[in-house]
Structure 1
Amino acid sequence: MPSPYLLIIATSARMLAQIAYQAGIQAVVIDLFADTDTRRYATAWRQVASLSLNDLLPALEPLLAEYPLLDLIYGSGFESFPESLSYLSQRLHLIGNTPAVFVNTVNKQAFFAVLDSLQIPYPDSVFTPPAPDGGWLSKPLCGQGGLGIRHWQAEPLAENYWQKYQTGLPHSVLFLADGQHLQVLGFHRQWTTAAGSDGFLFAGLINCTALSARHKALITAWLSQLVPILGLKGLNSLDFIQDGTALWVLEINPRPSASMQLYGSDLLSLHRHACAGHLPTIYHQDKAGTEACAYQIIYAKETVYIPDTLAWPQNCADLPPAGTICHTGQPICSLLVRQKTAQMVYEQLQYQQRALLRQLPCL
């Protein structure tokens, strides 16, 4: 008999917990933030310092003892802790890419070798320090969300690779895969922000782009080659840059990404079915998925304090508990905005971010 419970583990599990809650699934959650809305959507939750095995196990074991947990959906954060994902796959049924597929996809040297074999363009990348001529970015080998990406200035850095800075507009595409075939769900325009020492933090995305039909067809064709070679299953996303008529692939995130919350359909169910080898013949967006919709992270520009009197907007998510101190460069919360046009979305995001930051006392 299938269990009514689902274990969710991620750096921030709010999105997956919320989608599970909306689908009538009882989510048991482990993440690093334990935001107030995550707690509201979860049947049970535990907060950990990291996704390392040393931090995960003391939280995991009591939950496994208390709840009949069989299935696990994982989100971001295992890029730096693949051994944790491997361990979890021995204890639970993973709904997502296998640890081997995950590790091979996020391994930059292996991924770039696949791109080379398919003649898919990507920015020049090297694994030994280049000359600090101002044209290179240093990137963590096991990064996520733009953390640790900065212009290369010859400072000593461990566990990094270097990639030529490429002008253009960052984009992503969300897709479902069954290991051999794929179904594109949507294309997105992305943006980054600078905060603290990080110059390229992922800051948001919108489901409206200026990509041409040719651009979309080319990205889809590349994915049709990459999916069977990498063995990707379930929800994944590919990041790329568009500059004029040219496209460059950056990376594949082999797990559910932030863009899935732009769509109103039950993507968790589609993820589960795709992992079992069943793709939808045609993906039908509901009304919520055809409006202009954006997700944006609000980062602290200076150290701020979350007062207990703060009235969060209804469309605000990832809400830290009152009393939380958010240091410069740390995420405070996020906004999800739906409007008739992209311009209306951008205007609301700007207005709400400014209004919210004005309410937070600085320390």
Structure 2
Amino acid sequence: MAGEAVLIAAFSGRALAQSARRAGYVPLVADAFGDLDTRDSAAAVHVIDGAMAAGFRTRPLIHALDALAQSISIPPIGLVLGSGFEDKPRLIAALGHRYRLIGNEAATYKACKDPAVFFARLDELGIAHPTTQPCPPDTTKGWLTKRVGGSGGRHIRSCDAAAGERRRRYFQKQISGDRLSVGGVFGTEHAHLALSRQWIAPSPDQAFRFGGAVSMPDVAPDLRSKLESAARDVASAFGIVGMASFDFIISGGTPHLLEVNPRPGASLDVLDDEQGALFRAHIAACLGISQADDPPLTPKTARAMAILHADRGSLTLGSTPWPAWSADRGQPGTYIPKGAPIASVFAEAASADAAEALARTRLAELEDLIYEHTQS
């Protein structure tokens, strides 16, 4: 119920914390950044040092979550996981033994992120996907190598002769087309799906790095129906509950499913509303709480979010005069390595194209502003 405390763990807990707060919950966040926006939204924040570089480890994370739970007089209702757990089913299982997971179990993550299991199930369901195999192709041109359990695009590389020597990798034929994602809350009779369009922000080292997303893309009704049908079928086949996202590339008019993230994703920023409807629905779906069959909201404007990376070089944040349309704002003195995320920008407009264009303009504006105010 609203007003109760909830634990959140993610590489970046800001979006979940803000959605939880809008929904009337009291968020307690363990993440890798502890940025100003997360601290403004959360009742308490515990930063896990080194998590972005090395991933979450069991003892430090449990220590942080225990400390957060003890910081409030009423026990939290459970734990919501965001990014950072896709390749850690053992950690998810350990967390599930200690806290009530408000989301998918370890077995669901493992099945969705095991290419042998996942793509074989897509074949059974008749859902198109790029050609995928566990061993390097004879000819590497036109192939990608991806890390098992990876997400966000940073793990994707063009295939080369040395690709087979890397551990925990699989291989996928590269296809081109528009990138669309289906986001939704599963496990309730009243779940509503929404589409977003995504784009990449390539760098010399990371050609498929996630760049941003925008809601309300202009999608033909028949294609929308195919996307939503595939998402529902896959969610049912893998027993997915709560928030999840399904990433597709549209090639030759056919949606090809690339991956599923069985947890709240980057599209939360552009699909949620001012009342935290997605977070409330996630709690209800995972805990079996009935919700009134309210009609889905019909937004009048498209919303975009985009990530600014430190591509000009490493920096130490100064006293930046952050614009109101920015988020994930670091504290002065925060060191950011070259290529790492600095902050995010938001934009709204009458159409998806206009919102994305405004977000890209704001990225350039914020980049200039931040580098002008770096500490020496």
Identical-pair percentage: 30
Aligned mate of 2:191, from 183, 188, 191: 183
Note closer, same or farther for the CA distance 1:357–1:98 as it changes in structure 2 (3 Å cut).
same
CA distance in 2, matches of 1:346, 1:19: 22
| Paired amino acid for 2:336 | C
Secondary structure of the corresponding residue to residue 268 of structure 2: helix
Q: Name the SS for the 1:114 alignment partner.
A: helix
Task: Write 1 or 2 for the structure with the bigger share of strand.
Answer: 1
Distance change in 2, residues 1:57/1:95 (3 Å): closer
Structure 1 unaligned residues grouped into runs of 5+: none
For 1:1-363, list aligned pairs within 5 A. Answer: 4-48=4-48, 49-50=50-51, 51-67=56-72, 68-155=75-162, 156-178=165-187, 183-262=191-270, 263-264=272-273, 265=275, 266-277=277-288, 278=290, 281=293, 283-285=295-297, 289-359=299-369, 360-361=371-372
Q: Is the 8 A contact 1:292 1:341 kept in 2?
A: yes
Cα distance in structure 2, aligned partners of 1:133 and 1:126: 12
User: What is the TM-score of this pair, normalised by structure 2?
Assistant: 0.89
1:195–1:215 Cα change, 3 Å: same
Q: 2: CA distance between counterparts of 1:137 and 1:207?
A: 28
Task: Give the match's secondary structure for 1:172.
Answer: strand
Alpha-carbon deviation of 1:225?
2.3
Instruction: Please report how far the alpha carbon of residue 132 of structure 1 lies from its aligned counterpart in structure 2 after TM superposition.
Output: 4.2
Distance 2:156 2:231 in 1: 25
Counterpart secondary structure, 1:357: helix
Structure 2 counterpart SS, 1:199:
coil
SS in 1 for 2:225: helix
Question: Would the aligned equivalents of 2:29 and 2:68 in 1 still touch at CA under 8 Å?
Answer: no
Displacement, 1:279?
6.9
| Code of the aligned partner of 2:344 | S
Contact kept, 8 Å, 1:196 with 1:329, in 2: the verdict is no
Q: Displacement, 1:282?
A: 6.0
Distance (whole Å) between structure 1 residues aligned to residue 68 and residue 302 of structure 2: 39
1:290-341 superposed Cα distances (whole Å, 9 cap, x missing partner): 3111111111113242443311110111111112222222111111111123
CA separation of 1:133/1:31 partners in 2, compared to 1, >3 Å: closer, same or farther?
same
* Contact 1:171-1:189 at 8 Å conserved across structures: yes
Q: 1:124 to 1:245 in 2, by over 3 A?
A: same
In structure 2, distance between residues paired with 1:275 and 1:57: 22
Q: CA deviation at 1:150?
A: 1.4
- Given that 2:80 and 2:102 are in contact with CA atoms closer than 8 Å, whether structure 1 keeps it comes out as yes
Cα drift, residue 42 of structure 1: 1.0
Shift of the alpha carbon at 1:141?
Answer: 0.5
CA distance in structure 1 between the aligned counterparts of 2:2 and 2:243, rounded to whole angstroms: 22
Determine the C-alpha separation between the residues in 1 that align with 2:139 and 2:293. Answer: 49
Q: 1:55 to 1:9 in 2, by over 3 A?
A: same
Q: Helix, strand or coil: the match of 2:283?
A: helix
Distance (Å, rounded) in 2 between the aligned partners of 1:196 and 1:302: 12
Query: Which ranges of structure 2 fall in alignment gaps of 5 or more residues?
Result: none
* Matched-pair contact (CA < 8 Å) for 2:326–2:346: yes
Q: Give the superposition deviation at 1:3.
A: 7.8
Mapped to 1, the partners of 2:300 and 2:4 lie a distance apart of: 31
The verdict on how the C-alpha distance between 1:46 and 1:136 changes in structure 2, with shifts beyond 3 A counting, is: same
Please say if residues 330 and 342 of structure 2, whose CA atoms lie closer than 8 Å, have aligned partners that are also in contact: yes
Moved more, 146-155 or 158-167: 146-155
- Kindly indicate whether the alpha-carbon contact (under 8 Å) linking 2:17 and 2:38 is maintained by their aligned counterparts in 1: yes
In structure 2, give the amino acid aligned to 1:231. G
